[in-house]
Amino acid sequence: MDSGLIVFSLEYTCLVNSDRGIFESNIGLWKNQLEWSSALIPYNVLDRHSHESIRVIDNMSEIRRTAQMLNHNGISDTNHIKLIEPQLGNQLITISINGSDTFVNNSKSELLKAFKRVSYAKLDLARADSERITPEFLQLLDSAALRFGVEILISDYDTNFHGFSAKSHSVFIYLLGDINQIKRAEIHVSVLVDTLLNRHFVDRLQIPMSTLPSLGGCGMSNLVELMRELNVKVHLPYFADQISACQKAKESKMMSIWLTSKRMSEISLAKEALLDLHLIREPPSDRESGLFTQEVEVSKAKFELIALYNQQNIHSIMLKHDTCARKALYRGSQTQTIIVQGQTATSVQAAATDLNALSCLFYQLDIKFTRRPSMPDLELYLISLVNFRKTCVLSYNDQGISLIGNRAEIRAVLKELVSDLENHLFFFRMVNDKELELCVKMEVANDQKEFVSGKKNGKIMKILSLLCNVPSIHFQRLNDFNFTICLRVPVKAGIKNRQVSTAFGLLVRTMCLLELEFPAEVRFNIPEVFHKSIIGNAGSIIQSIMKKYNVFIQFSRNETTLDSASPNAKDPIFFNLKRRNNVLIKCPMKNLKNIMLVKYEIDQLVQQCWQNTSFTSNGMSVVYYGAQVRLLKSHFILLIRKMNFDLQFVMDLETNFNAHVDFPKTVGDFEGGSTYLINIKGNDNNARLCAEKLASLLPKSTEFEIACGRKVFADCIDPQDFREIIILPFKLILETETSVEDSVSTSPEHGNICRIILSSYSDNFRDIATSQLTKYLMLTDVKVLGNRDLDYTLITFVDGVISLTKQSPRKISLKIASQVASETTSRFPTESVSVTIFECFQKRLASENHKKAFKSDYQSALGKFYQAGPSSYNHSSR
């Protein structure tokens, strides 16, 4: 073997089934008994199926076919590919490519393109829906299967395609094949189910792919809230495979968001909401590049590993920072460029930093020696080093051996090499007669360089002194984000086996000692108003904690937060109130357990500030007074909309008044109720002044008192009709929020009372809504006791203890996005609005089948959808 060699492993995945479905597509992915090997499938899976009827979809056949083609085209004395198929105890496909550099590189690229992860998706169908299945629906499923390259199965068996299978009362639609194609097909099939079986309306919105994560918000929470608030299903395009080792880079393009609902009015409202959000998130026209862009360069070998095994991490980073990351069309010979785009410089910088941090998960081990003539079984020995390790890639050439892989697997390889040196002489004979150099390369973030090395390289010198200065440690700049630490141990020629073993052991020990000095940290937020009290006079309190636990603690202000890429930058906080981290706890990995102890102590100090119980013990002199503001849900929705979904105004209130405002993060924090009690803490009069300023930002409201409880009101007036006739038109046309809730008071004459609250920033629109609601209620069986401007005490001042409000998971409501833009007044003159709404009420009340107005549009939309499919549908169905 005189040419280059590369060995790597890929994950084997398969789906096994023996049950016949109600409907099955047939595009050729299933392999019958004659086409698959039972040696590939674990016994516990095979035993659950009848062998005669077993069918398998796996990712082995395509790789096998590609390897055979490459061998046929390029086979020679030097060029060949060996394929080690997975076994029962090792579900990895190991590939060895031997030959010239051109053959090795091209073959690896083709094999990665052929690699797919086989999986399945399951859609539940209600029995009523399954009874509506028609030949037309099945024909469309067949077309979808062929179009997306997946198998589609309708079955009344609940199965995971790995052994478990049980008869079910439900009916399921299964999509099987390549996981990326399944995600795309799932969107198409879900829309088909909603439109044909559930008889929903359908519409779509096209937006650039780069703006999708920012539109959806952190974790796509904006769109989740849209579904919850408006009874609309939002079918998002699949974009998680934009960074892939197996596919070519693609240009950023337009993507479709599909909307389905039982009512066209709700789809209209949802589309209006998404358009409003998109306009707000659209890049300024005066910015040349449109979006903020950052390029990230990663070594080609590490990029392939990241793309293969860290796809979920990449997706999480994109959602966390509201950014889009994709593989660039261009790349260097040894590097791959990733393009990160987002709405703010800070979010793009943070996402780029996190993506670069993925490179730090992988180490590179180089064993440099002069190549010897070919030895028997050398290739098999090198294959054995990688065969059971998923992330290791081994290269062998004139420079020696190089391995890149997950740091845990690199450590395991080093230990195995030490064991081989001790137990047999195969590896020793390969390297014994020549000079040998062992090297491990580790990537670390640039901002951690001083922490790792210590003052004047004190930590490095201490490690070297412990190891008698035999190894060498060098820092090398890699890029704008990371630097490389090189650990080297030289071995002279002609030495004995034990000395080679000692050199490997020394390298392992050096690596372990250095890793103990790597930084461990946690970042979080505490109210800035409490910082001085927690730090103490001249830093006495925080210094004692740092000394006690041997950690570093840093506090920062909102203007210069720890997460900010540029000081004094005020990036908007869209949709979801995310407080920037302003406390950092940091220590070496050897003190990792102390971090949570320190955080617990700081949390206790924060609680003492809330309770005003720490004056004596900690020498605090500041007394924190409290104020409470009662916030209506409708006020929250309108306030956020008025602020263009930017919650930076909350941070500004805290900064201007030196107070902490316990503002709801999302509408989900109301926990189904209509009010939220905002707690405000500050010293002197700051809490009161802040509360008054916040109250001045809220809209005005009108209250209707109804002579019945909320449950009786729901019995008298159908909630869905009330939503269609009152809530949605008021929201869309009059920018007015409507809520129904039980009153805290009762009437001696009528008993329980409920109230309808109309809220708006426009007195004119609120008057129109009041007039139209009065006319509507006159046509119903409910008794109106009267209406008045809502008058209650918004602000309560508290000198004592205020408990922290329980916060819900971070969700964001898009209900607030449904208001019409500021041009509403010019588009809808006041008088015509009044007449139009009332005529709408009369028409809908007089007609039992008001949905007929949408029937022709609905049929037209379906026709376009079936003809073109979700990826090419270009017109609104309205």
pLDDT at 831 over 80: no
Rounded to whole angstroms, the Cα distance separating 682 from 627 reads 9
pLDDT, tens digit, 9 for 90 and up, residues 720-745: 888 888 888 898 888 899 988 876 66
pLDDT score, position 669: 83
Residue 1 has pLDDT above 80, yes or no: no
Out of 19-23, 379-383, 544-548, the most confident range is 544-548
Is residue 58 domain-resident?
yes
Q: Do 76 and 11 belong to one domain?
A: yes
Asked if the model's pLDDT at residue 791 lies above 70, the reply is no
Residue 687, SS3 per DSSP = helix
pLDDT average, residue stretch 638-658:
89
Q: Quote the pLDDT of residue 661.
A: 94
Which residues have a Cβ under 8 Å from the Cβ of 798 and sit 6 or more positions away?
625, 626, 627, 628
Do 117 and 185 have their domain in common?
yes
Residues shown for the chain: 878
Same structural domain for residues 191 and 67?
A: yes
Asked if 323 and 341 count as a contact pair (C-beta separation under 8 A), the reply is yes
In a domain, 540, yes or no: yes
CA dist 789 and 608 (Å) reads 40
**Residue 51 confidence (pLDDT):** 60
pLDDT tens digits along 222-268: 676 667 667 788 888 887 666 776 566 555 567 888 999 988 878 88
**Higher local confidence (pLDDT), 783 or 211:** 783
Q: Of 278-287, 584-593, 838-847, give the range with the top mean pLDDT.
A: 584-593
Among candidates 873, 856, 855, which has minimal Cα distance to 864? 873
- So what's the pLDDT on residue 243? 72
Percent of the chain clearing pLDDT 90 (strictly above): 36
Is pLDDT above 90 for 420?
Answer: no
The CATH number assigned to the domain holding 558 equals: 3.30.1370.10
What residue type is assigned to position 279 of the chain?
Answer: L
Cα 537 from Cα 437, distance rounded (Å): 55
**Partners of 587 in the β-ladder:** 520
Give the model's pLDDT for residue 39.
57
Buried b (16+ CB within 10 A) or exposed e, 325-360: bbbeeebeeeebbbbbbbbbbbbbbbbbbbbbbbbb
pLDDT score of 394 more than 70: yes
Nearest Cα to Cα of residue 413 among 510, 309, 405: 405
Is residue 636 a part of any domain in this protein? no
- 320 and 384, same domain (yes or no): no
Using the 3D structure, point to which of 140, 166, 199 is the last residue of a domain: 199
Please, what is the average pLDDT of the chain?
A: 79
State yes or no: pLDDT of 833 exceeds 50. Answer: no
- Residues 353 and 393 grouped into a single domain: no
DSSP conformation letters of 809-867? P----SGGGGS--TTHHHHS-HHHHHHHHHHHHHHHHH-S-GGGGGHHHHHHHHHHHHH
Do 341 and 292 meet the contact criterion of CB atoms below 8 Å apart?
yes
380 and 335 both lie in a single domain: no
Query: Whole-angstrom Cα distance, residue 788 to residue 626?
Result: 30
Phi, psi angle pair for 37, to nearest 5°: -100, 130
Only one residue has tokens 């302003």, namely: 582
Which pLDDT does position 498 carry in this prediction? 62
Question: In terms of domains, do 428 and 546 share one?
Answer: no
The mean pLDDT of 591-597, rounded to a whole number, is 93
What average pLDDT does this structure show over 155-164?
A: 85
Residue 49: band (very low, low, confident or very high) from pLDDT cuts 50, 70, 90: low
Its pTM stands at 0.80
Q: Which two tokens stand for residue 144?
A: 């979808």
- pLDDT mean over 660-689: 88
* pLDDT at 181 (0 to 100): 93
Domain residues for the domain of 321 are: 292-359
The pair of structure tokens assigned to 819 is 């208001």
- Which of 43-52, 726-735, 748-757 is predicted most confidently? 726-735
Same domain, 342 and 420: no
Asked whether residue 423 is assigned to any structural domain, the reply reads yes
Residue 674 forms part of a structural domain: no
For a pLDDT cut of 70, what percent of the chain falls above it?
Answer: 75
Mean pLDDT of 531-554: 91
Confidence class for position 429, pLDDT limits 50, 70, 90: low
Supply 80's token pair: 């060949």
Does the residue 790 lie in any domain? Answer: no
Per-residue pLDDT tens for 765-775?
Answer: 999 999 999 98
298 vs 780 pLDDT, higher one: 298
In a domain, 227, yes or no: no
Q: Residue 372 corresponds to which tokens in the numbers above?
A: 């010897």
Q: Any idea what the CATH number is for the domain that residue 506 is in? A: 3.30.310.210
332 and 423 part of one domain? no
Does pLDDT of 859 surpass 60? no
Residue 283 above 60 pLDDT? no
So what's the pLDDT on residue 176?
A: 95
Mean pLDDT of 149-167: 88
Residue 58 sits in the same domain as residue 186: yes
Give the per-residue pLDDT at 861. 42
* Residue 326: inside a domain: yes
Q: How much is the pLDDT for 468? A: 85
Number of domains in the chain: 4
Q: From its phi and psi, is residue 267 left (phi > 0), alpha (psi between -120 and 50) or beta?
A: alpha
The domain boundary, picked from 174, 199, 224, lies at 199
Query: For the segment 64-95, what is each residue's pLDDT rounded down to a tens digit?
Result: 999 999 988 766 667 889 999 888 778 899 99
Residues 546, 453 share a domain: no
Reply yes or no on whether the pLDDT at 279 is more than 70.
no
Q: What is the DSSP string of 300-348?
A: HHHHHHHHHH-HHHHHHHHHHTTEEEEEEEEE-SSEEEEEEEESSHHHH
Q: Which of 794, 731, 741, 792 is nearest to 766 (CA)?
A: 731
Q: Is the pLDDT of residue 845 over 50?
A: no
Among the candidates 603, 618, 633, a domain finishes at 618
Is residue 107 scored above 50 in pLDDT? yes
Q: Is 593's pLDDT higher than 70?
A: yes
- The label of the residue with tokens 């922490």 reads 451
Looking at per-residue pLDDT, the higher value among 63 and 538 belongs to 63
Is residue 146 located within the same domain as residue 193?
yes
